[in-house]
């Protein structure tokens, strides 16, 4: 027997967090009874309905997308803006692993594997994510050290990060900085640089765990290799 939210997530219907919300909202029926208890366990033969539709297991799909600017990192958008899911050509119900800001570009994973999504986004698992930021102004060594040791944003101190100065353009008064973090707070990277007095002009996520964009251009994507999926799961053993 397995927890209901895990079964829903593993089916590819949605992420585990989304499944928990559906259960809490009373939208899940097991064997004819509405279930609202998150710890509820089900068997393989149990009939599960979500919004009146029978839950079916789907083959898992995994994509690595180079998110372009001006695309939202959700499956659906209330404002009818283009989403990362709109870019992927599939008939499966897929969703992004975490989020990137509307104006941030770079690597993002898209899948229908709720269990892997939960593992990759849970704060305790500390998945490294590397960003390249173009800053207004010339950043100094003191600020880089502060960022590395953690800065206070929104009332909390960020975890230690790896920060490297890549380039300085004195003529245009800008800096290019590489920063690797394992947290994923809202607008975190931008707020961290703002905390040391620098506005982020452009932001790109260059890597996620051991995955890189490679030769992909903005708006392009590829399927993950089976070996890569196994490696992602291997991060949690």
Residues designated catalytic: 101
DSSP for the chain, please give it: -EEHHHHHHHHTSS-HHHHHHHHHTT-EEETTEE---TT-EE-TT--EEETTEE-------EEEEEEPTT-BSSS--TT---BHHHHS--SS--EESS---TT-EEEEEEES-HHHHHHHH-GGG---EEEEEEEES---HHHHHHHHH--EETTEEPPP-EEEEEEEETTTTEEEEEEEES---TTHHHHHHHHTT--EEEEEEEEETTEE-TT--TT-EEEPPHHHHHHHHHTT-
């Amino acid at each position: 027997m397995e927890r209901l939210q895990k079964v829903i997530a593993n089916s590819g219907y949605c992420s585990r967090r989304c499944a928990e919300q559906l259960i809490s909202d009373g939208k899940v029926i097991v064997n004819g009874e509405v279930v609202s208890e998150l710890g509820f366990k089900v068997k393989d033969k149990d009939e599960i309905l979500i919004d009146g539709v029978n839950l079916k297991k789907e083959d898992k799909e995994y994509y690595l997308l180079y998110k372009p600017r001006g695309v939202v990192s959700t499956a659906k958008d209330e404002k009818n803006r283009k989403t990362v899911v709109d870019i992927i050509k599939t008939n499966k119900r897929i969703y992004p692993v975490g989020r990137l800001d509307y104006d941030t570009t770079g690597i993002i994973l898209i899948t229908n594997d709720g269990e892997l999504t939960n593992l990759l986004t849970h704060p305790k698992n500390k998945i490294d994510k590397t960003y390249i930021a173009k800053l207004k102004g010339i950043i100094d060594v003191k600020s880089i050290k502060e960022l590395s040791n953690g800065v206070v944003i929104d009332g909390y101190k960020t975890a230690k990060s790896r920060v490297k100065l890549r380039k300085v353009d004195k003529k245009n008064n800008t800096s290019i900085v590489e920063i690797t973090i394992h947290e994923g707070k809202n607008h975190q990277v931008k707020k961290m640089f703002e905390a040391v007095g620098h506005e982020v002009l452009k932001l790109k996520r260059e890597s996620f765990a051991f995955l890189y964009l490679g030769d992909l251009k903005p708006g392009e994507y590829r399927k993950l290799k089976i070996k890569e999926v196994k490696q992602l799961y291997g991060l949690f053993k």
